[in-house]
Every structure is written in structure tokens, then in C-alpha cells.
Chain A
Amino acid sequence: MADKPRIKLPKEAKKGEIIQIKTLVSHLMESGQRKDAQGKPIPRKIVNKFACEFNGKPVFSCALEPAISANPYIQFDARIDEEGTFKFAWTDDDGSVVAAEEKIALKG
């Protein structure tokens, strides 16, 4: 997972507003079902977990299986009651974690 994840959310929101967050991370999501040219099974290697928190509190997370498409796209919502920082984390089967942060301000 070398590439930076892509995250789309508004820069600011009204207090109480529900915003939409779109995320995409580059990953092959090797299902473990494929075989190489020699007929040997290619070992599974996927992003098995995604989590989003806001100011340290969980907003949305998911456990993912090999039935998730390559370059997993995840869209969800979040209610904004205060300004702060979103933290995003994608966990690979090998234990490595890709993390990202986005700030959001309150409008007016």
C-alpha cells in the first residue's frame, strides 16, 4: 500500500450537519483464490479492516473479506458537532497500517 489514500470530505460544515466521506486506498486485495502461472495458489493479502474516528471517538469501521474489490472504495457519513480531526486507518493482512488525517472546521 505505497500510494496515499484518497479521501474526499468537505473542509467545513454547520454544527449538526451530516457530511459524506469517500475514501479509496490502492490495494490489490489478493483474494487467495487465484493461482499463478505454475498453478500454485497465490496467498491471500487484503486490507481486512478500515476504521474512521473523529476527535478520538469511533465514527465508522468495517471488517473486510476477500470479496471486496481491488482498491477498496468505502463511502459513509458522519455527523459534525464540533470542529476537529478525522483519523482513517486501513489494516493489511501483514499487519501494516496506512493512516491518514483530515481536518474539518465549523461554518459561521
Chain B
Amino acid sequence: LTVMPMAANAEPSNDAAELIKKFTDGKEAAKGKITLDLPEIAENGNTVPLALTVESPMTSDNYVKEVLFVADGNPNAGVATLMFTPMSGKAEASIRIRLAQTQNVIAIAKMSDGSLFTERKTVKVTIGGCGG
């Protein structure tokens, strides 16, 4: 089992805001284009399936470049940064993540024209990826 210290509450207490600011260069991200598939309730925070779809034609002049994932209630907010190319064909990916407690998973997509989109989802964690 993975043991992570539990944060005192579910408020963003980690570096989520800083990571997002660094990724977006302080620009505002619009809502939309992103679909996040995450369980509403995760019984085991050690392995939570996360599937991403971003609406995009994925052509050489219009594609999704990067997607940042952060978790605002983990000891460290960083989860992963995915880098797509037109050769990806689709801006879709699945990974499995650790969540220490109930919190929000936030995705921000950066398109080839520099525009930004965001989506978030709350996951209730019954047994944290923290052994507790």
C-alpha cells in the first residue's frame, strides 16, 4: 500500500494553482471541449481510472498539443502532462492515478493555436491512496 500523509481538509492546499498558472502562462482557460471520465466514487485511491477525450480534428494545423492534469488534494498536485501530435489521430488517452482523499481532478488542454480549455471532476475517495 502507498502511504501518503493526509491533508487536513479537501480545500486546495497544494501547488495546484501554481502548476496551472505555469502551464497557462496566467491566461484564462475556457470551459468545454474536454470530457473527463472518472468514477464519482473511488473505493481505492491507489488506482483510479482516468480517461480523457478532447474535441479536435487533430490535423497538422489544428490539434491538441498538451494536456495538464492536477489533483488539488494530493500532497503534490502534479499528476501528468500528456503531449499529443497530429499523428495521435485522436486526442484521447487513459491512465490510472493515485488520489489521497476526496478532491478535484483538473484537466487543462493547450491547443496548437494557443487556446486553452479546462474541465474538472470531483472524485469521492473511500480509501485514500494513503493507506488510511
Contacts and interface: CB of A to CB of B under 8 A. Distances in A.
Interface string A19-51: 100000000000101110000000000000000
Question: A34, A60, A69: which has the most chain B beta carbons within 10 Å?
Answer: A69
B85 A60 contact: yes
B115 interface: no
B4 A34 contact: yes
Interface of B: 2-5, 46-48, 58, 71, 74-76, 78-90, 92-99, 129-130
Nearest to B83: A61
A77 B98 contact: no
Nearest to A31: B2
Contact of A75 (B78, B94, B98): B94
A57 B130 CA distance: 39
A8 B76 CA distance: 31
A54 B97 contact: no
- Which secondary structure dominates where chain A touches chain B? strand
A77 to B, nearest CB: 4
A77 B88 contact: yes
A58 B71 CA distance: 27
A63 B90 contact: no
A100 interface: no
A63 B71 CA distance: 15
A46 B80 CA distance: 12
A102 to B, nearest CB: 15
Given A66-B98, A68-B98, A60 B80 contact: no
Given A60-B82, A69-B129, A74-B94, 15 more contacts: A18-B89, A31-B4, A33-B2, A57-B87, A59-B87, A59-B88, A60-B83, A62-B82, A65-B76, A65-B80, A69-B98, A70-B46, A75-B93, A76-B82, A77-B88
